[in-house]
Structure 1
Amino acid sequence: MNSDTQNRRVFLKNAALGSLALSLSGTGGVGAIPTATGKRVGIIGLDTSHSTAFTKALNTDETTTAYSGYRVVAAYPYGSRDIETSTKRIAGYTDEIRKLNVAIVDSIDELLRQVDVVLLETNDGQLHREQAIQVLKTGKRVFIDKPMAASLTDVMAIFDASTTYRVPIFTASSLRYIKGVEGLDKRSVLGADTFSPAVLEKTHPDLFWYGIHGVEALYTVMGTGCQDVVRTHTDGTDLVVGRWADGRVGTFRGTRTGKHDYGGTVYTQNGNVTLGPYGGYEPLLKAIIHYFETGEVPVTPAETIEIFAFMEAADESKRRGGAAVRLDHILKKATR
């Protein structure tokens, strides 16, 4: 590893540990001269319902004003190739996307020649590092859907590339915009409990695949600064307790039985706030369009890095029978 790369990794680690915002100034699409300048959206990955949901919202004439005229014009289907629950959906979602006047292309390179910005929707986080860097090299802004990657090491590498190519990146679960968050004075938050499904997928660390939804909701209201994590695991449930450096406690409950639902409670100096119900994709999509327009990211790299360190610490706690695991130890391992 050369000294420049090492310096960038040290900087990212320190940002996460110190909860610092990393300021990145981005460029727009490089060399693109579309009919509506800068408004052509490309999708990578047609193995998730997010791809069709976003396309239907953007390509409906009645909503183009709400989304500043951005429209999906091209899509590359792959996408997962070895996760059965994802691969079996590609053909059907590809047909749906075609009906929305979207060109289906054979490669990411071909996609990037036709678009100005990218929605990286591939359901398989193992592919995100390679796919995201391919986009970043062109200078195009890219939203990376959950999970940002299938390891904390890959998350750090993507942010490293974001710094190298000077393109800010935005990644988030739609649960960041769950009802109850709007108008919340986060300075008054004393603690929080959140819950979401936490279905497991053998190719990803436990909480990365689906538990990330509830973990991100927790971080949305608590902010950064978690010091250590303890996890209790059963076949049907995970309970992860995080202890913040300022003494606050935040918990995430991940479920694998019963009805899938999302929500939580935020404890504030002025009373309790209920999170939920889930409000759909529209708030997230509006945030994505704002990012495409301005290059401003609503979630700092430091916060995203800590979210993934929290989930990896939870896995380590499970391996150690529920022992407390410090996030700074997890971050140090990821940057070696």
Structure 2
Amino acid sequence: MNPSRRSFIKKTTALSAAASLSSLPFSLLGNTQINPIKIGIIGLDTSHAPAFTKLFNAENPKPELAGFRVVAAYPYGSRDIKSSMDRIPGYIDQVKEQGVEIVDSIEALLQKVDVVLLETNDGKPHLEQARAVFKAKKPVFIDKPVAVSFADAVKIYQEAEAAGVPMFSCSSLRYQKNVHAVRHENKVGKVLACDAFSPATLEPSHPDLFWYGIHGVEILFTAMGPGCESVTRFSTPDAEVVVGTWKDGRIGTFRGMLSGKHDYGGTAFGTDGNLFFGPFEGYEPLVVQIAEFFRTKKSPIDSRETLEIYAFMEAADESKRRGGAKVNLEVPM
């Protein structure tokens, strides 16, 4: 065979191979999906929005996060909580650097995406925003707080179920390594008690613990599991302390720190020993769970447990109003 003929065959073979590879759903070289699941973000008033975007849109994401792309974001978000509003312009710039398109309405966003991260830091508009997502039939993760009241939280879950739309909500602290291990890996045997703590900055427009105390309360419930039947709250100038009694007699406590610099953590006490939680390990463990949820359309958390967390926090407020009286939890659904 003459050299020119041999060269022609090699080039033809290479082109054919390239064409075959291009027909695959994944690029073998870049390990990125050609048709990713398109994610939209509602709310750029929280650090979670750029942090989650950075994980999903990384050039070489973790295998668990491959096949996704945050493509669009609607910035609002709070319009009356200054600490949230002031962050929006900077977070717009950060997500735009990750290739995210900024849109001027939730409706415009929903036309461009397959799934939604409802990241609005302010819980007040969550019910209205979630209803738009449910109407569009898009699976949604709703970041904390799920709503600005227990009643709205119940409505969101009921309306998601009625619309047949998969959703879940939680704090990232649920998926800290040791917290998750106590619940899912039997790390301390049967959990007998748990003391959890976190910062608990207050925001006047939200029930006390909804705004930031949710993080430590989520740690408590991840360790103890559902089944709390009553709470009693004690307030000091530096902390809010809530004591919960579970139906089987176990006691769990949450200490929300109001002043000073504090991390997130606690201790689980079990039949096989104790385990300390903390410090904060970042958002990646939660984002991995969100990715799996978007793939499977199955919530990793029972809705009733999440609603019990909000009932616990609202009952804690009621106990405070009653001067520390015991308040029973009531969880519908």
Aligned to 2:229: 227
Say whether the 8 Å CA contact 2:180–2:222 is kept in structure 1: no
Judged with a 3 Å threshold, the aligned counterparts in structure 2 of structure 1 residues 150 and 227 are, in CA distance, closer, same or farther, namely same
The within-5 A match list for 1:122-271 is: 122-184=120-182, 185=186, 188-271=190-273
Judged with a 3 Å threshold, the aligned counterparts in structure 2 of structure 1 residues 67 and 81 are, in CA distance, closer, same or farther, namely same
1:222-276 residue CA offsets vs partner (Å, 9 max, x unmatched) = 0111010000012320110000010000000000112121110000000111111
Say whether the 8 Å CA contact 2:175–2:285 is kept in structure 1: yes
Aligned to 1:275: 277
1:184-217 residue CA offsets vs partner (Å, 9 max, x unmatched) = 2186100100000000000000000000000001
Structure 1: distance between partners of 2:181 and 2:82 = 40
Counterpart amino acid of 2:73?
A
Q: Could you tell which deviates more after superposition, 163-172 or 36-45?
A: 36-45
Structure 2: distance between partners of 1:212 and 1:319 = 19
Q: Which has the higher contact order (CA 8 A, sep 6+)?
A: 1
Structure 2: distance between partners of 1:202 and 1:258 = 19
Note the aligned Cα RMSD (angstroms). Answer: 1.4
Aligned to 2:74: 76
2:114 is the alignment partner of 1:116: yes
Judged with a 3 Å threshold, the aligned counterparts in structure 2 of structure 1 residues 120 and 36 are, in CA distance, closer, same or farther, namely farther
1:26-71 residue CA offsets vs partner (Å, 9 max, x unmatched) = xxxxxxxxx9546100000000100000011111111163303211
State the SS of the aligned residue for 2:63.
coil
Where in structure 1 are there 5+ consecutive unaligned residues? 1-34
Say whether the 8 Å CA contact 1:144–1:171 is kept in structure 2: yes
Q: Could you tell which deviates more after superposition, 96-105 or 284-293?
A: 96-105
State the SS of the aligned residue for 1:72.
strand
Say whether the 8 Å CA contact 1:266–1:272 is kept in structure 2: yes
Say whether the 8 Å CA contact 1:179–1:278 is kept in structure 2: no
Tell me how far 1:126 sits from its aligned partner.
0.6
State the SS of the aligned residue for 2:45.
coil
The within-5 A match list for 1:286-305 is: 286-305=288-307
Tell me how far 1:133 sits from its aligned partner.
1.3
Bigger radius of gyration: 2
How does the TM-score come out when normalised to structure 2? Answer: 0.87
Aligned to 2:65: 67
Structure 2: distance between partners of 1:117 and 1:216 = 24
Q: Could you tell which deviates more after superposition, 246-255 or 66-75?
A: 66-75
Tell me how far 1:123 sits from its aligned partner.
0.4
Aligned to 1:7: none
Structure 1: distance between partners of 2:138 and 2:177 = 31
How does the TM-score come out when normalised to structure 1? Answer: 0.86
1:134-166 residue CA offsets vs partner (Å, 9 max, x unmatched) = 101111100000000010110111011111111
Aligned to 2:6: none
State the SS of the aligned residue for 1:291.
helix
Q: Could you tell which deviates more after superposition, 74-83 or 64-73?
A: 64-73
Aligned residues: 297
Counterpart amino acid of 1:305?
L
Aligned to 1:102: 100
Percent identity, aligned pairs only, is: 56
Tell me how far 1:182 sits from its aligned partner.
3.6
Q: Could you tell which deviates more after superposition, 55-64 or 213-222?
A: 55-64
Counterpart amino acid of 1:147?
P
Structure 2: distance between partners of 1:68 and 1:96 = 21
Structure 1: distance between partners of 2:289 and 2:161 = 21
State the SS of the aligned residue for 2:233.
strand
Aligned to 1:3: none
Say whether the 8 Å CA contact 2:36–2:67 is kept in structure 1: no
1:74-110 residue CA offsets vs partner (Å, 9 max, x unmatched) = 0000000000000011111111111111100000000
Tell me how far 1:120 sits from its aligned partner.
0.3
Say whether the 8 Å CA contact 1:181–1:221 is kept in structure 2: yes
Aligned to 1:23: none
Q: Could you tell which deviates more after superposition, 230-239 or 60-69?
A: 60-69
Q: 1:55 aligns with which of 53, 56, 68?
A: 53
